[in-house]
A and B are shown apart, each in its own frame.
Chain A
Amino acid sequence: MFKKILIANRGEIAVRIIRACNEMGIRTVAVYSEIDKDALHTQMADESICIGPAKSKDSYLNMQNILSATVLTGAEAIHPGYGFLSENSKFAQMCEECNIKYIGPSSENIDNMGNKLKAREIMIMAGVPVVPGSVGAIKTEAEAIGWAGKIGYPVMIKASAGGGGRGIRVVTKVEDLVLAYNTARVESKTAFGDDTMYMEKFIEEPRHIEFQILADEHGNVIHLGERDCSVQRRNQKVIEEAPGPSMTQELRKQMGEVAVKAAQSINYRNAGTIEFLLDKYEKYYFMEMNTRIQVEHPITEMITGVDLLKAQIRIASGEELTYKQEDIKIQGHAIECRINAENPSKNFMPCPGVIKSIHLPGGYGVRIDSAAYQGYKIPHTYDSMIGKLIVHGKNRDEALCKMRRALGEFIIDGVDTNIDFQFKIINNENFVKGNFNTSFISKEFKNL
């Protein structure tokens, strides 16, 4: 087992990782940018090293400084968290070369799944259902027109190196295709330095269902059930819940087995998430794989009782998984609301600033994962997340009650937050009925 781990991240996930290490008796090293000198993760860790100025590219993305800090403090492993360097295969490779254990999959895993076209091809070979689409890259306008005809409109033109919703165009009729293809190419080249494009059938109003995977270094792979993350705004998740309200036992078993097969086909190691699109006919399609721990991991922890961060650390230190698939039981229902420093009435404009006062909700079944504290100044250089509010009840109704109560108890002064917006969603008739898909927010909250 590791004696010391360096956390290459900040904010609530850094706090989460430090807490797991503390419980395991592992010493922690935090890294921070100059503006994060008073951040909670910097204070909580046993040691802390300043690695750069405020800008991410000079600090939390500064591989040299982070690796130096690891070597010089004697940390044996790095946990990359999510975002920043967590899906950077070059960083994972550099760790491997410096004899530092990277707490996550191999650099090859990250490479394979980070290239969306490659990931698609690998999944097709493994017999995993994928969204019907083009085979190989689309190199000319003529090819684009040809494929669109074969697939059938509406189609989605996607960038192979893409992410964050960029390099994507939806086309409903052939007249719009050529223009969309060319603009998507340019956007992709600008954003990712790569304009390799492919095409998929556009699945209308799907649910976003993802499966949590744990794989050890001895070939054991299990899934821990699904999360429904359909409530999104501009491709950013707002609320997540587990289990998915529309899922049946049978569908869970089927999709879970497919997710495990997908992970096994690439010799995946450590924690990961397979994302599916579920259409209204209960047909599911592989969308992509996230080769890291995710923001919404707590809801899976609440319903399965498995501490995913500790599992990641154990896997990385060479231990075998202590759970078999039949040991994973789903108990109750969990919901997570992301609490951000933003103003919903001003187009969700981020509102950094000082948290003058904060009162956190509590009570049975309430969990807060946050790095905020009274007097903390939220910097303007990173994301606007203040924390995650998670509830767990014995069924979905009770979880909804608890979330309503907890949001009501949550008070933050000094910065604007989306707490009231979350409250509206939790009380929305369709949400309560479980009647929603990825178009939910844009349809129900048109004025925002």
Chain B
Amino acid sequence: MDYKNIGELIKTVSESQVTSFEIETEGIRIKIEKKEQVVVEKIPVNVTPLERLKDLSTLGNIVINGENKGQLENNIVKTTQNTEKVIAEQNIFVVKSPIVGTMYSSPSADSENFVKVGSKVKIGDTLCILEAMKLMNEIESEVDGEVVEIFVLNEDMVEYGQPLFKIKTL
């Protein structure tokens, strides 16, 4: 089981109604408990290197190999030790919603999304549309950089101050 599968597994469990989940396979034991700890343990039989953990949508503590690795904030791991490659906190700009409304990731139903993870943006580029009371508001980027994370899905309802995009500035 590689890093991608682990990430997907964690996401699937956290998005479901399941509150407690445990699996043991291929030298890895994973135990997930909602609102408490995400525990990823290595069994000393096979050594499978763990890479970065990201996109965990459960809030709580992350315990890796028995060590508490820190708090989850805005779905991003802020680790107290730097043993894994984690996204650096410098040069990060979080775009927050200025209104209550519905988020649209593309200009119309059948067109391409304005941006996706990895898109390069300049100041003034449209990131998404927020619709409120039948008025479409284009949300423009205030920085030059690369979109590293998108926190909301197309047609999600957003509230004031809710994080929408994470942009790594150049």
Contacts and interface: CB of A to CB of B under 8 A. Distances in A.
B100 interface: yes
A282 to B, nearest CB: 52
A98 B135 CA distance: 13
Contacts of A65: 99-100, 132, 160
A68 B161 contact: no
Interface in A64-79: 64-69, 71-73
A34 interface: yes
B162 A68 contact: no
B133 A51 contact: no
Contacts of A34: 160-161
B14 interface: no
A114 interface: no
B133 A71 contact: yes
A52 interface: yes
Contacts of A130: none
Contacts of A69: 100, 159
Contacts of B105: none
Interface in B74-107: 99-102
Contacts of A59: 160
A98 B101 CA distance: 15
Given A49-B100, A72-B100, A98 B133 contact: yes
Contacts of B157: 72-73
B132 A51 contact: no
Contacts of A52: 160
Contacts of A66: 100
A215 to B, nearest CB: 30
Interface in A42-84: 49-53, 59, 64-69, 71-73
A109 to B, nearest CB: 24
A52 B158 CA distance: 12
Contacts of B100: 49-51, 64-66, 68-69, 72
Contact of A72 (B102, B160, B161, B162): B102
A34 B160 CA distance: 8
A50 B133 contact: no
Q: For the side of the interface on A, what is the size category?
A: 10 to 19
A64 B160 contact: no
Contacts of A67: 133
B2 to A, nearest CB: 38
A58 B99 CA distance: 10
Interface in A313-367: none
Contact of A49 (B132, B133, B159): B159
A42 to B, nearest CB: 12
A53 B101 CA distance: 16
B98 to A, nearest CB: 9
A64 B101 CA distance: 9
Contacts of A51: 100, 159-160
A14 to B, nearest CB: 17
Nearest to B157: A72
A68 B159 CA distance: 9
Contacts of B99: 64-65, 68
Interface in A81-100: 98
A73 B101 CA distance: 10
Contacts of B160: 34, 49-53, 59, 65
A122 to B, nearest CB: 33
Contacts of B159: 49-51, 69
A71 B134 CA distance: 11
A59 B101 CA distance: 14
B104 to A, nearest CB: 13
B102 A64 contact: no
Contacts of A50: 100, 159-162
A73 B132 CA distance: 13
Interface string B100-142: 1110000000000000000000000000000011000000000
Contacts of B162: 50
Interface string B149-163: 000000001011110
A64 B133 contact: yes
A362 B101 CA distance: 43
Contacts of B102: 72
A212 to B, nearest CB: 34
A64 B132 contact: yes
A53 B160 CA distance: 8
Q: In the complex, which of the residues A50, A67, A98 has the most CB atoms of chain B within 10 Å of its own CB atom?
A: A50
A200 B100 CA distance: 45
A55 B166 CA distance: 26
Interface string A120-135: 0000000000000000
A125 B87 CA distance: 73
A398 B167 CA distance: 66
22 contacts: A34-B160, A34-B161, A49-B159, A49-B160, A50-B159, A50-B160, A50-B162, A51-B160, A52-B160, A59-B160, A64-B99, A65-B99, A65-B100, A65-B132, A68-B99, A68-B100, A68-B101, A68-B132, A68-B133, A71-B133, A72-B101, A98-B133
Q: Which 5 A-B pairs have the closest CB atoms?
A: A68-B100, A65-B100, A50-B159, A68-B132, A72-B157
Given A49-B159, A72-B102, 19 more contacts: A34-B160, A49-B100, A50-B159, A50-B160, A50-B162, A51-B100, A51-B160, A53-B161, A64-B99, A64-B133, A65-B99, A65-B100, A65-B132, A67-B133, A71-B133, A72-B100, A72-B101, A72-B157, A98-B133
